[in-house]
Chain A
């Protein structure tokens, strides 16, 4: 988003360079530092500032128009708005919740909601719920504003990389006419802020690299710190922001490598360069990220539905939680009803329910014991003496280190039990079940309590004591970890008995403690610092991120589907249908141009290795194309390939950050192709050919947008499968479910 004032010196710089071509040829690959780009055909478009500004203005206005058109439709909750809308509401209410994504995106939505008069009362229960009087448009507009800025940012980035208004214009038009991007921009989602920050960070980095001739001046610092800010923001929206950090990081490393090789620079100057980058690209984004988290924890000060994911200490900071500033019995006594929390980040509460383990796990099917992150009555356990069948009358004898106990599940009245059978998922551990009837069980129900660091006689304290439960007969320890049970176990966490004592997942703490007979004492729980709360949030997030599995019957997609636009995603069903599908013309031409770029790249490498001579103008043009395009290619790779390594469930919309780079690359290559094509014609015709080709291309792209725009702006009537549907012409692929 360069304002004209900021851009002015840059453009003068460019002109001075193009008047007297510098002999230095740009490096191949990342990053582009070329201030001079060869031109096979020098169009007036590329050489005039007016064209540059007009292009930028037109692109921006068109972006505003397309992104804000029909922003209020549909009048109901669409797709993931149900999640992020909910999150915004909880922010506004200050109720603690847990989500796998960092807070910034949701905070932006919440702030937009507050500013436009939304009070956080709407439920966002499920897709399709009517908004009625809820002022939801503000939140959508906030997202759309970020989404629409992506288009001019693409334009600017391409210009920075190859100094060609034509290439920038082509990239801008393709971004503008990409229906999928348009759809993603129009709803209350995290993608608009994410893509915006990624694009902004890329642009600032490209801009910063182009400032390398005047290090440490104002502009240089400005763009460097802006890059840092945007990568921090991108990472604060979703962790996929890591990919843009990688892109910026690699670019910076290459830059530093060049500086390091510059023998005119003293070590002191190089150290300054290095420290400046550490400051702006590592420390500064980290500060931003942590500040946002601090804000997040500050806003969400009340207890909410996310409590159960976090440790007891964490919960004690939340207003309204049973552990918050309440009086609880300090000690656990026989006869107390307790809940046991696995003492690790994201650990669940010991849980059982009246369902049995499937037959293949033991001849006698016994009741499942799991760990569950939500609070419910099935998490309650009654502490009993191992040798008494009657419940304790007074409830005042305190449980101490070394005691043998029996834990009775209060709802099913069965005892926590283990035996030397393999655990369902972890074959090296033993199975834990609930066994017995009406509280009567057998010798395998006895557990020895071990307080960490305690000696015989030390009492078990609520929350404060970390305990191990040793199964007396088998000699193993009650254990829980992040392995999920399959469907039959409701995908709750597995609980096993681990023969190894020192495993850190064998630790538990008493979280809830109900006992009328014990005195209620208010004592200071261990109040976790911000840093430990911050870390714990991350452990929990990381865990649930990798545990995301597709729900039954849900349409998921594979990464290889994405670049070929294999299938889309339904945003809104019913009479008003929105289908997230890329504009196939843009997608497929990106694909073709991508391959063309690879061919040019390989071809040039081969020719150079062979040492063949060719025209210097072509060489300069190719150098420029390959350095700028190579950087975009790297960006595409970094935003796309890691998805192949991810175990979690993936959706089509994950591709869009990579798509941005792909489109910018396409614009760059397309400009080269047009110039090359033009240069084949005799000189007098060249101007006509060039501009005709451009006009044809741009109108083709816009035409395809007009054709496919119903996908984004909503469709009525029969599906495209039906022959006489008005959209039957759009179903170009069998797999599209328009």
Chain B
């Protein structure tokens, strides 16, 4: 049995030899029951890279040596030959003991004292609440996609929790029924699985086992990653899925020698799957998608140069990658949202965020589903009071006793008439009266209570102030190209009132009677004089209008900003005569409708899934921008050097606290690592440009690509935050952190070659230095562990001692200090 026959290519053989050699020397890889075939298959790619990367080291001469124990002399004839055939039903296995040890420690570090503290920490207040909402099936709205929260809810469901605890505020103690340990356990599990994931990525990238172990080690003792794995938050999921997608992609990349083979498809599909999971948790996963996308482009760029691949095959490559890497995540996203809507079928706190038809699809919403011309349908008569709600912006048409400022800050003048705005809240000032045009400017009430028909010209009176809704050729306060809308005040000046509006109901013909059903009547008000339509621009007016929304008339009458929903209606009830009249109109209307089925009267009862899906995506995108400011929000430039911390929780009585902060030693070394990587790359590049090779050109290329991938991933996960204007927190940095740790580990391994020129004694010193660094990392982890675990409680002096950087936010009770 010869290894060279089993393995393809020469390099692999070298790998095997090295491997065996290594195990003899007690190197970190434990190989039991050596079988050439398993070794070759399991370790093909990593060892090939390994052997190349270490060719500068003193292991190089070993290549010529034979297998250990294999005699070079001819073997004397033996009578009793071994049967070469293996025993039936055997299972050969290989156990990477160090890896298992690593994973074990990782689990221990993350699961230790998971129940502590028994209080709601930071954003658990949100995500726990969302889980409760899922269990209660009440509709809510959040900026993050549902998968992570569904997972928490699923755990709660399995643990028999009914979702009755609403996670009121940070610091509140969990009642017994809340399975918060199990929920945190999901986070901790993902956080722990990150460690083998990081290990494998290092191997897939072609780094040595040593470097991979080191990277895993750093990941274990990184306070921020530990903390984030111990709370009911989404980041732990996000980070795991991000690196899982990277790992799957690298596995897929190593299948490039056999394109379109089953395992090629398998790993590509897994990558898509991991991306889908990642995007199902948080949309910041788009950065992870970008990362894989860039690697895919590089992959394709390489394929492009390969003339053996013809154009159709190239197109197939592109197409399949597109389908797997974009199609699968999209499909998963749709499925996840489908489940989301399926679960959340009851009206709840999210109602106010979504449109009326959406709400109507939820059980128990205020707006009951309607049958055409149900008993709810009310014929609108003149002198009825109503409120109008903008469909685009969630606000009501409003006016109040204040005038537009005489001059705006930019020098333009206004009409100085009563403000008409759009207000976010219910208010008596939202009430308006519809009435027949009086023909004069006076606001005395015309007594006519006839039926309002579509296309009628009407006047709209503000109920409390009696001012008429007016629009005129004055530039609107914020949108100078649009006309101002005001409550008309007769200054007997040059401002002629233009107070007539044409009612135009969506889906009705002129002359049709206008029926109102709760929240169902959508109409436009066309300004008769200017032919423009009443619209809400969605811009917030300044202080003088109490930051309500701007209302204008808009030339673009077809836009959705001009559609208003009549929310409430108080009809003037007439006598029997009017009731008879109503009945007659109703009959006429129904018969007319039956005669002409094409006329749409009500909005379709069922709001389709796709409409819901698109609407919620729209709300999620726009809601990100409107997140408020936060006291502990930190801009991105403060992240890498850990100049800020993020307090999560402080106990009410003691100084035990949970604060998000990294292991400072690792963070600073990580940044140093990036700098050193760039510096070394620059040195190598400068030298090789002058044809001086500090390391072999092939090795240099490998160094650049592997390190480049890590630095690139780090940047892709970090830089885009500089462009975001919303409030950001330190934990947004965490997805990029493992890249830095991996790079640091790789550097620790790589720097070894710089010791080659030193005398052997000093050369021995280098591993010791690395070990010393590792010890320091653990020490620094332990120093800050009380902030990670919320245990034990520290005294003020101890906290102050840990206050290494002035700008860190570490909390303690003032009273305890004196």
**Which of A8-16, A132-140, A234-242, A605-613 is the contact stretch?**
A605-613
Tell me if A502 is interfacial: C-beta within 8 Å of chain B: yes
Cβ contacts under 8 Å, B806 to chain A? 500, 502-503
The winner among B542, B690, B691 for most chain A CB atoms within 10 A is: B690
Interface assignment of B305: CB less than 8 Å from any CB of chain A: yes
A552: contacting residue among B307, B542, B689, CB under 8 A: B542
Q: Is the CB of A551 within 8 A of B480?
A: no
The interface residues of chain A lying within 8 Å CB-to-CB of B723 are 644-645
Cβ contacts A594-605/B at 8 Å (1 or 0 each) = 000000000000
Q: In angstroms, how far is the closest chain A Cβ from the Cβ of B89?
A: 52
- Asked if A261 is at the interface (CB within 8 A of a chain B CB), the reply is yes
The bracket for how many chain B residues form the interface is: 20 to 34
Chain A nearest CB, measured from B797 CB (Å): 15
* CA distance in complex: A235, B477 (Å): 38
- A737→B690 contact, CB < 8 A: no
Encode B449-480 as 1/0 by CB contact (under 8 A) with A: 00000000000000000000000000001101
Chain B's interface: helix, strand, loop or mixed, by majority?
Answer: loop
Q: A263-B690, A263-B691, A487-B543 are in contact. Are A609 and B304 (CB under 8 A)?
A: yes
B690 & A553 in contact (Cβ 8 Å cutoff): no
For A555, list chain B residues within 8 Å (CB): 410
Check A573–B411 contact: CB distance below 8 A: yes
Separation of A422 and B814 alpha carbons in the complex (Å): 13
Report the minimum CB–CB distance from B411 to chain A (whole Å).
Answer: 7
CB-CB contacts of B390-423 with A at 8 A, as 1s and 0s? 0000000000000000001111000000000000
A734 touches B481 (CB 8 A): yes
B691→A553 contact, CB < 8 A: no
Asked if B304 and A606 sit within 8 Å, CB to CB, the answer is yes
In the assembled complex, A683 has its CB within 8 A of some CB on chain B: no
Which residue of chain A lies nearest to B811 when distances are taken between CB atoms in the complex? Answer: A428
Q: Tell me the bound Cα distance from A343 to B618 in angstroms.
A: 49
- Closest CB-CB distance, B530 to chain A, in whole Å? 12
Contact assessment for B305 and A553 in the assembled complex, using a CB-CB cutoff below 8 Å: no
Do the beta carbons of A611 and B307 come within 8 Å of each other? Answer: yes
In the complex the two chains form, is B304's CB within 8 Å of A737's CB?
Answer: no
Tell yes or no: A420 within 8 A of B by CB.
Answer: yes
> CA of A128 to CA of B304 in the docked complex: distance in angstroms?
62
B689's contact among A260, A420, A475, A554, by CB below 8 Å, is which?
A: A260
Q: For A427, A428, A474, A721, which residue has the most chain B Cβ atoms within 10 angstroms?
A: A428
B809 part of interface (Cβ distance < 8 Å): yes
Residue of A nearest to B803 (CB): A500
Chain A residues with a Cβ closer than 8 Å to the other chain, count:
30
With both chains docked as a complex, state the minimum distance between the C-beta of B407 and any C-beta of chain A, in angstroms: 10
Q: Does residue A735 face the partner (Cβ distance < 8 Å to B)? A: yes
- Count chain A CB atoms within 10 A of each CB in B542, B689, B691 and give the residue with the most: B689
Given contacts A260-B686, A503-B806, A721-B481, contact A553 B304 (CB under 8 A): no
Cβ contact of A427, chosen from B478, B480, B631, cutoff 8 A: B631
Residues of A within 8 A of B411 (CB): 573
Question: Does A257 belong to the interface (CB within 8 Å)?
Answer: yes
Query: Contacts A503-B806, A721-B481; is A610 near B410 (CB within 8 Å)?
Result: no
A553 and B409 form a contact (CB under 8 A):
yes
Interface residues in B668-710 by Cβ distance below 8 A to A read 686, 689-691
Q: Report the Cα distance A610→B309, complex, angstroms.
A: 10
Q: Is B632 an interface residue (CB 8 A)?
A: yes
Closest to B691 in A: A263
**Is B491 on the interface with A (CB-CB < 8 A)?**
no
A273 → chain B closest CB, angstroms:
14
B630 nearest CB neighbor, chain A only: A427
Residues from chain A with Cβ under 8 Å of B543 in the complex = 487
Q: Which residues 710-737 in A have Cβ within 8 Å of B in the complex?
A: 721, 734-735, 737
Is B301 an interface residue when CB atoms closer than 8 A count as contact?
Answer: yes
Minimal beta-carbon separation of A421 from chain B (angstroms): 12
Q: How far is the CA of A606 from the CA of B302 in the complex (A)?
A: 11
CB distance from B324 to the nearest CB of A (A): 22
Minimal beta-carbon separation of A734 from chain B (angstroms)? 6
A611 with B305: in contact, given A552-B542, A735-B481 (CB under 8 Å)?
Answer: yes
Question: What CA separation (Å) do A554 and B478 show in the bound complex?
Answer: 9
Q: Are A553 and B408 in contact (CB under 8 A)?
A: yes
Determine the chain B residues whose CB is within 8 A of the CB of A420 once the complex forms: 814
Known: A257-B689, A260-B689, A610-B305. A553 touches B410 (CB 8 A): yes
Assess whether B809 is in contact with A737, with CB atoms less than 8 Å apart: no
Q: Does B801 contact A (CB under 8 A)?
A: no
- Tell me the A566-612 residues at the B interface (CB within 8 Å): 573, 606, 609-611
C-alpha gap A32/B83 in the complex (Å): 73
Q: CA of A428 to CA of B410 in the docked complex: distance in angstroms?
A: 37
Of all chain A residues, which has the CB nearest B412?
Answer: A553
**Does B722 make an interface contact (CB < 8 A)?**
yes
Closest-CB distance, B484 to chain A (whole angstroms): 14
B-chain residues with CB within 8 Å of residue A737 when the two chains form the complex: 480-481
Can you name the residue of chain B whose Cβ is closest to the Cβ of A567? B481
Distance in Å: Cβ of A504 to nearest Cβ of chain B? 9
Q: How far is the CA of A260 from the CA of B410 in the complex (A)?
A: 57
Contacts of B632 in A (CB 8 A): 427
Question: Which of B305, B408, B477, B818 contacts A609, CB < 8 Å?
Answer: B305
Interface centre among B305, B410, B691 (most CB of A within 10 A): B410
The residue on A at minimum CB distance from B647 is A428
Within 8 A of A (CB), among B277-333: 301, 304-305, 307
Q: Least Cβ distance of A416 to chain B in Å?
A: 20
Q: Which residues of A contact B689 (CB under 8 A)?
A: 257, 260-261
A488 vs B301: C-alpha distance when bound (angstroms): 57
Interfacial chain A residues near B408, Cβ < 8 Å? 553
* B 469-502 binary contact with A (CB < 8 Å = 1; else 0): 0000000011011000000000000000000000
Contacts of B809 in A (CB 8 A): 428
Which of B411, B543, B686 is packed against the most chain A CB atoms within 10 Å? B411
A645 to B636, CA, bound (A): 12
Q: In chain A between 517 and 564, which residues have their CB closer than 8 angstroms to a CB of chain B?
A: 551-555
Inter-chain CA distance A721–B817, complex, in Å, is 68
- How far, in angstroms, from A609 to B307 measured CA to CA in the complex? 10
List the A side residues contacting B409 at CB < 8 Å.
551-554
**Contacting pair B410 A554 (CB below 8 A):** yes
Contact A610 B542 (CB under 8 A): no
How many Å from the CB of B24 to the closest CB on chain A?
Answer: 45
Task: Flag A481-503 by CB within 8 Å of B: 1 or 0 each.
Answer: 00000010000000000001011
**Complex CA distance for A261 and B411, rounded to whole angstroms:** 61
Nearest-CB residue, chain B, relative to A607? B304
Within the complex, the shortest CB–CB distance from A429 to chain B, in Å, comes to 11
**Chain B residue nearest in CB terms to A736:** B481
A552 to B542, CA, bound (A): 8
In the complex, A496 Cα to B478 Cα: how many Å?
Answer: 35
The complex places the Cα of A422 from the Cα of B632 at a distance, in Å, of 13
Smallest Cβ distance from A728 to chain B, in angstroms?
A: 14
CA distance A326 to B303 in the complex (A): 79
Measured between beta carbons, the chain B residues less than 8 angstroms from A611 are 305, 307
**C-alpha gap A420/B408 in the complex (Å):** 40
CA distance A55 to B3 in the complex (A): 76
Within 8 A of B (CB), among A421-435: 422, 427-428
> Considering only CB atoms, which chain B residue lies closest to A488 in the complex?
B543
CB distance from B801 to the nearest CB of A (A): 14
Given contacts A475-B817, A554-B409, A611-B307, 9 further A-B contacts (CB under 8 A): A427-B632, A428-B809, A487-B543, A502-B806, A609-B304, A610-B304, A645-B723, A721-B481, A737-B481
Spell out A's residues near B (CB within 8 Å): 257, 260-261, 263, 420, 422, 427-428, 474-475, 487, 500, 502-503, 551-555, 573, 606, 609-611, 644-645, 721, 734-735, 737
Query: Can you sample 26 A-B contacts with CB below 8 Å?
Result: A260-B686, A263-B691, A420-B814, A422-B631, A427-B632, A428-B631, A428-B809, A474-B814, A475-B818, A487-B543, A500-B806, A551-B409, A552-B409, A553-B408, A553-B477, A553-B478, A554-B410, A573-B411, A606-B304, A609-B301, A610-B304, A610-B305, A610-B307, A644-B723, A735-B481, A737-B480
Q: Which 5 pairs across A and B sit closest by C-beta, in order of nearness?
A: A427-B631, A553-B409, A552-B409, A553-B410, A261-B689
